[in-house]
Structure 1
């Protein structure tokens, strides 16, 4: 791997790889056929693994399982269709992050709708929605509020400011979701073979590392909250391997330079002011998960786009041949999907995992040329 020669922590990378290999050699219960299966929850970790070739540098008896920590990837097609229902209305300006533009719904994507004349705009910060609403007072401006706890504070602050300013033409289509119920759903599945987890550093920055401790206690799986540099991830993997060797199952925080035990109280307060849990939420690949989605609190209900526009609530369905659900839940690898790199490419995606910057299929397509060759 050429990057190691130029990497500022090259010697540390080499040392960590040697330590992991030595410890895995002593864990004889794991081999190439039955490896230690580590789920990296966050899509950012998935891309780092393949960008830096960590899967090839590590011993053969370690296997990465790609988790559901990409909010665009777990977005059901029915939710995109409801967005399209709103976005096609004449008096609406619909705002979204770039990752969601090309996610296909049953009736096309937001990008398709923009090509057909809908006023759909890509923004980089939720706060951009305030200026657009101020500049277009005769329009209804709808922001697609999407993401795990990482992006919730920015959405919350946007609507707090909008309320303070008295903006009445700004709304949010809320698709914010929470990570802990998702992991509960995965780990409670008796058919799911997960030995350890790399915890999502960005989410933990908001909710705190301690939020993951009950999962370790309940399911007896080690979890290490990890940063995103190669050294961070290798150090985290070493910590997981050490726990396996010691027959422990606890939460450890490798990313302590960024993640505090109790998270960010100011961000948590903003979230609690604007959003609250709703009883049920649909997830691509995981179905209905109780208490996993967010909605506007009664105090901020006037900003709720679904309450105001009453869009059609579409059933979620998938392309029959697509394996998005299986990839999201670690039951297969992207290249095992019959559509991967054939009908489903970044230019012509069938599923969200190919278009998201954190999607597993996008990572395989961009960095793992062996997988592309296997499909040809």
Structure 2
């Protein structure tokens, strides 16, 4: 994409919104889930709910990697960080997520442990080279978008023979979570009404559009892959409404400037060489999902932190008052949580959905969605 402003044109946005109002059948409700947390923030940043008719409902999905990581896995990372021989490094959002007893990596760093924020997995390789007397562990999280860089550094570590580098792998898979959502008890009993998906952008640049094809076939739910700009999201909503009105059910690609059906084959090959699917993995809010995450292949086992440190699988304790698990399933929104905005805020996060830059609670809080009333479309919005 060469330009950005053309995808934020206010007049074009209002034209698409007007077309949505014309084509949305007032006799029905359209319940559309944006899977990706990046879409959730774009939706509120640009005031898209204010442009839609009341019968077009946007449901927020579990597409935030920081949010879906279960507390037990975070507790394992905290235990690793407390080892005197370890430098634990990870992405910035992960530092402030509360674990059991409201501990976090930020808090254990304040105790004197060596926990570092990085912007790229390649920085972890440099740390290992600079500190040969320490064990450098990269706490890897993320969907398919961030998996190829982790695979690359694991391959690089093997070539370099870095015996003081390892990865605590927590990479998860988007289609598996979408299957899980459509098989939750709430989806079965009607508590979660879901008519279609706005498919993720960055993930789809890697995996392509083909992995979404089972959803129209098995569940009769259309998927439209969308970019992150306001015109992308509005166009995807219009495309879903048209499919539903016409009785069609298929995968469509609005984000054609970046996504193809086959995806990035080189990135996929790198991931397949280094990783394999886990039999099962625990997700916050969704429970154990079969083949929904990746683990490091045996050929790279010497760089697997779970094996190197013989990590014990832990079961973390959720804050009983926090509604993050239900929000991640799409059955509640942040305003349904009695902790939202008071006392849970970005400065005092009590749940993962308020910490992450892609979390639904952070989006609601950051863009003023504190009450049920609609807020006026402001000038900075489309």
| TM-score (norm. length: structure 2) | 0.93
Task: Tell me by how many angstroms 1:215 deviates.
Answer: 1.4
Task: Tell me by how many angstroms 1:211 deviates.
Answer: 1.0
Distance 1:59-1:338 versus aligned 2 partners, 3 A rule: same
Cross-structure match for 2:139: 144
Cross-structure match for 1:12: 12
Cross-structure match for 1:44: 38
> Residues 283-308 of structure 1, C-alpha deviation per residue, up to 9 Å, x if partnerless?
00000001001110011111110111
Q: Distance in 1 between matches of 2:151 and 2:122?
A: 10
Cross-structure match for 1:239: 239
Q: Distance in 2 between matches of 1:333 and 1:82?
A: 29
- Kept in 2, the 8 Å contact 1:153–1:270? The answer is yes
Cross-structure match for 1:66: 60
CA RMSD of aligned residues (A): 1.6
- Kept in 2, the 8 Å contact 1:77–1:317? The answer is yes
Distance 1:127-1:88 versus aligned 2 partners, 3 A rule: same
Cross-structure match for 2:27: 29
Cross-structure match for 1:353: 353
Greater relative CO (CA pairs within 8 A, separation 6+): 2
Q: SS where residue 145 of structure 1 aligns? A: strand
Q: SS where residue 73 of structure 1 aligns? A: helix
Task: Tell me by how many angstroms 1:6 deviates.
Answer: 11
- Kept in 1, the 8 Å contact 2:278–2:292? The answer is yes
**Do structure 1's residue 303 and structure 2's residue 303 form an aligned pair?**
yes
Q: Distance in 2 between matches of 1:147 and 1:305?
A: 17
- Kept in 1, the 8 Å contact 2:65–2:141? The answer is yes
Q: Distance in 2 between matches of 1:346 and 1:229?
A: 24
> Residues 251-291 of structure 1, C-alpha deviation per residue, up to 9 Å, x if partnerless?
00000110011000010011011111010100000000010
Q: Distance in 2 between matches of 1:169 and 1:67?
A: 38
- Kept in 2, the 8 Å contact 1:85–1:312? The answer is no
Q: Distance in 2 between matches of 1:7 and 1:265?
A: 27
Cross-structure match for 2:83: 89
Q: Distance in 1 between matches of 2:322 and 2:219?
A: 30
Task: Tell me by how many angstroms 1:369 deviates.
Answer: 4.3
Task: Tell me by how many angstroms 1:370 deviates.
Answer: 3.7
Distance 1:102-1:8 versus aligned 2 partners, 3 A rule: closer
* Structure 1: unaligned runs, 5 residues or longer: none
Q: Distance in 2 between matches of 1:243 and 1:149?
A: 27
Task: Tell me by how many angstroms 1:316 deviates.
Answer: 3.0
Distance 1:208-1:7 versus aligned 2 partners, 3 A rule: closer
Task: Tell me by how many angstroms 1:12 deviates.
Answer: 1.6
How many residue pairs were aligned? 364
Of 122, 127, 135, which residue of structure 1 is paired with 2:122?
Answer: 127
> Residues 106-153 of structure 1, C-alpha deviation per residue, up to 9 Å, x if partnerless?
040000010001100000000111110000001000001110000000
Cross-structure match for 1:214: 214
Q: Distance in 2 between matches of 1:38 and 1:8?
A: 22
Task: Tell me by how many angstroms 1:366 deviates.
Answer: 0.3
Distance 1:350-1:262 versus aligned 2 partners, 3 A rule: same
* Structure 2: unaligned runs, 5 residues or longer: 375-382
- Kept in 2, the 8 Å contact 1:110–1:120? The answer is yes
Task: Tell me by how many angstroms 1:52 deviates.
Answer: 0.5
Distance 1:372-1:39 versus aligned 2 partners, 3 A rule: closer
Q: Distance in 1 between matches of 2:360 and 2:195?
A: 20
